[in-house]
Amino acid sequence: MMTYIFAIVVSSWLLAELWYAWRLRDPQPKKTDESSLLILWGSVILGVSAGAWIALYHKTAFQQADWIQGLALVLMAVGVIGRAWVISTLGKFFTVNVRIHQQHELKTDGFYRRVRHPSYSFLLLTFVGFCIQLNHWLAALAVMIPVLLAFQRRIVVEEKVLLTHFGNAYQEYMSKTKRLIPWIS
């Protein structure tokens, strides 16, 4: 049963990300993205593929408890739903490419009250759940290291663009919020 639920959650996650990439892309991308979207997608594909391969061909010595698998599925589902919610709150201002719209306003309420990149926070939560499901520490590292490095690069690119556009307002917002995890980082 858990296998079917896992397949549904992963399929939903993949379909949502493909939909975002197709429907929410900027039809006229600018150089402000610095290839960070390509790097992010490449890192995710590489990391998830490597992690799945390791978990599939290098079994762990212990059986994972059902409640741990259930928790992992909940984390993944909350991550997928939370990311969709955050994206919907930005509305027309969300694109998968890094850019600023003409009427763009700095969003500091809702999820943005605590973290500057809640979309990535929820995506990170999805990856954590996925890694728990893989049930292998080396597989988890294979997934998370490239993903975290790509997130870091992407966030630096985004924050550079936001600082350029919003100036002191974004600098002040940065001083009051964390990047990804409330109260931590």
Render pLDDT for 13-50 as a digit per residue (tens, 0 to 9): 888 888 787 776 666 666 677 777 788 888 999 999 99
Q: How far apart are CA 120 and CA 97, in angstroms?
A: 14
- pTM given for the model: 0.86
Domain assignment of residue 76, given as a range: 35-176
Q: How far apart are CA 166 and CA 158, in angstroms?
A: 12
Alpha helices (runs of H) in 91-167, residue ranges in sequence order: 118-134, 137-166
**Angle at alpha carbon of residue 68, lines to 122 and 41, rounded to 5°:** 35
Q: For residues 87 and 20, is the Cβ–Cβ distance under 8 A?
A: yes
Residue 4 included in any domain? no
Residue 110 included in any domain? yes
Residues in the chain: 185
Residue 7 included in any domain? no
Residue 143 included in any domain? yes
Q: For residues 47 and 143, is the Cβ–Cβ distance under 8 A?
A: yes
Residue 14 included in any domain? no
Taking only the tens place, the pLDDT of each residue in 152-167 is 999 999 999 999 999 9
Residue 5 included in any domain? no
Q: What is the domain count for the chain?
A: 1
Taking only the tens place, the pLDDT of each residue in 62-103 is 778 889 999 999 999 999 999 999 999 988 778 777 777 677
Residue 12 included in any domain? no
Q: CATH no. for residue 39?
A: 1.20.120.1630
Q: For residues 174 and 116, is the Cβ–Cβ distance under 8 A?
A: yes
